[in-house]
Amino acid sequence: MKSRPRVFISSTFYDLRQVRADLQRFIEEIGYETVQHERGQVPYGSTEKLESYCYKEIAQVDIVVNIVGGRFGSVSFDQDNSISQMELKTALRLNKQCYVFVDTSVMAEYRMYLRNKNVEGISYVAADDERIFKFIEQIETLPKNNQLIEFRQSSEIALHLREQWAGLFQRFLQEQETLPDRRAGDELHTALNTVKDLVTFLTNERREQGSTINEILLANHPIFERLRKVTAAPYPLFFRTFNDMCAWLDSRSWIPVDEAEWDTPDALEWIHDPGVGRNRLLLRVAIRVFEDDNRLKVFTSAEWEDSWVSTRELEPTPTPVRPPSPAVSAPRPPIAPPRSPAPLPPLQRPVGQPLNQSTPPMPKPSVAPPRTVAPPATKKASNES
């Protein structure tokens, strides 16, 4: 967020470069920020013409100081104005605070131009192009922001700007003092316009049987706030008919009471049971708040009575008593019968041998004796002559 006013200095460069430098020094001394293309303070891109970025930068400043000298300057791409002239036109179109200073010698020849602008062949000394005078004439004919200040030296421009900006600051302080009164006046003006619109609205709606005013009153019906309060609903509600209200109560676990059990015949009843051991709630809604066709009847706050929607506590639901169940001993697991040994395999006997003759023992397998491994022969060293 910017903290200082930004001042765009618009003029031709070569003939007014000293004036621009003096203004830069003055503006920065009082704490403002200057914007000048020769100091690189205008960011240029590569997609448009350079002068287009100057016009875009004007949208980001607060004040534009335009200085008109004797040179026309670089021609803008529209071929009718110079770039500095287009900068001022852009600022005026954006409703910026503008200050236009014209060199005294140029202003003197401008008055001669007005008397002889239909005469051809006149050459002027202070201005190198007649279009400078045409531009000054355009500024003078503007309905607002068209003050032209003559100057001989840059110090005259600085003095005028100092007085103007001091006056703006003083006006700002006065407006801050009267700000509460102006806000009150704005609110009163808004209220009067609202009353005027409401009177017009009611007059027109009376011709249309007041259907729209009923919609407005219905949206602010007192039953909605009353139901939200007695049922402890955490959000606002809205309905148009009796069936809509029943559906909402059903979603909140309110159970309708049979008509034969109502306390009075002029009030509908619902019961909310929060659970065993907690008090139940009885909700009563007067039948008179609904039309015969089950639509919600319109009431204003002055006509409404809170007794039409009320609740009272009932005794909690008794805890059911169950008879004690007889103790049943857990059945013991059956004892597994002892396992019988597996039958032995039948004995093998040669064919023709009697049963009572014992079987000769099986011969033991012969085991080969372990092999003895001879140690490796040791080589004797031989003495060879």
Taking only the tens place, the pLDDT of each residue in 294-347 is 889 888 888 899 999 999 888 876 666 566 655 555 566 666 666 665 565 554
The pLDDT score that the predictor gives to residue 382 is: 47
Q: Which residue has the higher pLDDT, 232 or 25?
A: 25
Residue 209 CA neighbour count, 13 Å, CB half:
1
Paired residues of 284 in beta bridges: 269, 310
| In the predicted structure, residue 383 carries a pLDDT above the cut 50 | no
Q: What is the pLDDT of residue 26?
A: 94
Q: What is the pLDDT of residue 104?
A: 93
- pTM (2 d.p.): 0.46
The C-alpha angle with vertex 163 and arms to 71 and 133, in degrees rounded to 5, equals: 25
Residue 130 has which token pair? 């007649």
Rounded to a whole number, what is the distance in angstroms from the first to the last CA of the chain? 114
- For every residue of 312-346, DSSP letters joined together read EEEPPPPPPPPPPPPP-PPPPPPPPPPPPPPPPPP
Name the token pair of 230. Answer: 């007695």
pLDDT for position 68? 93
211, pLDDT greater than 80: no
pLDDT of 385: 37
Q: What is residue 63's predicted lDDT score, i.e. its pLDDT?
A: 93
Give the residue from 135, 145, 3, 21 showing the smallest Cα distance to 75: 135
Backbone φ, ψ for residue 272 (5° rounding): -115, 120
pLDDT digits (tens, 9 = 90+) for 252-308: 889 999 888 888 888 999 998 887 667 888 999 999 999 989 889 888 888 899 999
Give yes or no for residue 66 having a pLDDT over 90. yes
% of the chain beyond a pLDDT of 90: 24
